[in-house]
Structure 1
Amino acid sequence: MKIGFVSLGLIGGSVAMALRENYPEARIVAYNRSKEPLDAALSDGVIDTGVQEIDDSFSGCDYIFLCAPVETNISFIPRLLPYITEDTVLTDVGSTKGNIHEAMKRLAPDVHFIGGHPMAGKEKSSYFNASGELIDGCYYFLTPSEAVTDEEVSDFEKLISSLGCHPITVQPDRHDFIVGAISHVPHMAAYSLVKLVQDEDTPEEYMRVTAAGGFRDITRVASSDPTMWEEICIANRDNITKLMDIYIDKLREVREHIAAGEGEALYDIFKGAKEYRDSMLK
């Protein structure tokens, strides 16, 4: 089996590490703009070939993973086309799916594309924070295009499952709404809470200094790469803004109960939220 990676960052590096651990005989080639991650991956034995240009090193790949930000992934599609055959499955690990599926229809409608999104990550990026364990046990969304066969989808599901992931197949628009709610809007909430404290802090910066576990936990993702999240917001803006409006309504509802001193109503909201949150941990 030959596998290609375009960009060896946190997720690309983690998937490559998991593949190497589970398929030691696989041939793995990777492109990365900067040389340091390639040198590290070669030294680690994660990849066999590292290149800084898309070239014929990608010929004959069974799978090629696009692991850069979504818009950057789209820009690589034409550069990969000379090396993609009918036996190649192209996939990605991006946080949104609608835009790359639209790009595939426009740029390469016959390429066998399966959108992918492992629900894993850290606030720290780069290959040097990657680990095969990062994706172990995670749910992994798949959004197959019309060009792929049922057999190819089944084979890819088996590959992803062999890495310890749990594949879930959905339509691209459904994926983007789901991750808008469970990932994108929570990031916006985290950024907004940090900005609130920054703007309302005392001259002595007591808020910043004394912020403890609860605040740090709920705002951890605000340390994520701002460039990546700028792109995600633009790519999934319709779902994010729709869900943010709903979230603002939820906040306003809680605010009104607090202002009115309606303790029982607050208790019901908190109890229901606690029970649903606890069910996620089972």
Structure 2
Amino acid sequence: MIERVFILGTGLLGASAGLALRAAGFNGSVIGWDKDQRQTQDALRLKAIQSIALDPFEAAQASQLILLATPVFAILDWMEQLAPVLNASHLVTDLGSTKAQITAAANRLYNQPGQAAFLPGHPMAGKEVSGAAEADGALFRGAVWIFTGDTGPPPTISPSETDIGREWRQWVQAMGCRTIDLDAGRHDELVAWVSHLPQFLATALTALLETEVGDAPELKAVGGRALREMTRLGSSPYSMWRDVAYTNTEAVSKAIQALEQRLTHLRENLRTPELREEFEIANRFRKG
């Protein structure tokens, strides 16, 4: 039974997870740690955590569930550091935006007899801002929470089939999420299209606007809802998306290249019937 949760990384997602657990009725202890003390202080002030860990390793050992809520490279680093100090009574999970490298590390470092279990996870939720001060207990409500495995040989211990793994999945559902299971490679391919490409498109568009018309005094008056919506993601933090770009380079590059080709097609057909066809295709996707 999960009586103590340790959230390692109390930024937006980590603090939101703490608030969501409380809203779902979790009555156990929630402890937090972050290398940025401002984040833990904000999380404590918002009651996303009950206390701040002095030593992350001791806090992990004293908890049944360890939630890694940092950027992907930090998750991979913590996986290496925590594996030797945990045991079969622990479940480690994460909120990382890419899953292939994390899932491979989980199969290498965890999920064997005597070792902690590791259940890779990714809630499809977030904001264009970061930090515990922006945490929201309803952030995950209505979202899909993905758990990933690997197409290779299955680990000796399936984390989803352990008692603590099943309980964590129930808490995720209690937070208002629908859970699905995907192969890690398929996950990274899909999110490159539906999450990573929109982010990089928004970043490129926002940077282009800043370069081309950013100093125009009429910009804010002329720019309406379309500008606000398209550039909202453009303010997302580089610190998180750097790791996404590094750990899902091939899939993201493929998606960006396909978009480049589509934009070229639009540019070449601004005065032909094919422009209408593009709008019709786009509307079919949206209605579907």
* TM-score, length basis structure 2: 0.88
Unaligned runs of 5+ in 2: none
Determine which of 118, 123, 147 is the counterpart of 2:123: 118
Pick closer, same or farther for the CA change 1:122–1:149 going to 2, 3 Å.
Answer: closer
- Residues 220-252 of structure 1: per-residue CA shift (max 9 Å, x gap): 111000121122111110100011111112112
1:251 aligns with 2:263: yes
1:121-270 superposed matches below 5 A: 121-144=126-149, 146=155, 147-152=157-162, 153-201=165-213, 204=216, 206-207=218-219, 210-258=222-270, 261-262=271-272, 264-270=273-279
Query: Sequence identity of aligned pairs in percent?
Result: 26
Give the Cα–Cα distance (whole angstroms) in 1 for the partners of residues 100 and 241 of structure 2. 16
Give the Cα–Cα distance (whole angstroms) in 1 for the partners of residues 100 and 6 of structure 2. 23
Is the deviation greater in 230-239 or in 21-30? 21-30
Pick closer, same or farther for the CA change 1:167–1:202 going to 2, 3 Å.
Answer: closer
Q: Offset at 1:205?
A: 5.1
Give the Cα–Cα distance (whole angstroms) in 2 for the partners of residues 204 and 157 of structure 1. 50
Give the Cα–Cα distance (whole angstroms) in 2 for the partners of residues 268 and 237 of structure 1. 31
In the alignment, which residue of structure 2 is the partner of 1:68?
A: 70
Pick closer, same or farther for the CA change 1:207–1:156 going to 2, 3 Å.
Answer: same
* Matched letter for residue 275 of structure 2: L
1:56–1:83 Cα contact (<8 Å) kept: no
Give the Cα–Cα distance (whole angstroms) in 2 for the partners of residues 191 and 266 of structure 1. 25
Pick closer, same or farther for the CA change 1:227–1:202 going to 2, 3 Å.
Answer: closer
1:11 aligns with 2:21: no
* Matched letter for residue 201 of structure 1: V
RMSD of aligned C-alpha atoms? Answer: 2.1
Is the deviation greater in 147-156 or in 86-95? 147-156
* Matched letter for residue 16 of structure 1: G
Pick closer, same or farther for the CA change 1:40–1:195 going to 2, 3 Å.
Answer: closer
- Residues 32-90 of structure 1: per-residue CA shift (max 9 Å, x gap): 11223323333443323312531322224222110010001111123323542212221
In the alignment, which residue of structure 2 is the partner of 1:46?
A: 48
2:120–2:147 Cα contact (<8 Å) kept: yes
- Residues 158-189 of structure 1: per-residue CA shift (max 9 Å, x gap): 22111101111101111101110011111111
Give the Cα–Cα distance (whole angstroms) in 2 for the partners of residues 213 and 150 of structure 1. 43
1:277 aligns with 2:279: no
* Matched letter for residue 7 of structure 2: F
Q: Once superposed, which parts of structure 1, at least 4 consecutive aligned residues long, lie more than 6 Å away?
A: none
Give the Cα–Cα distance (whole angstroms) in 1 for the partners of residues 67 and 118 of structure 2. 10
Give the Cα–Cα distance (whole angstroms) in 2 for the partners of residues 149 and 194 of structure 1. 41
1:66–1:93 Cα contact (<8 Å) kept: yes
- Residues 119-156 of structure 1: per-residue CA shift (max 9 Å, x gap): 11111100100011111111111114634245235443
1:119–1:140 Cα contact (<8 Å) kept: yes
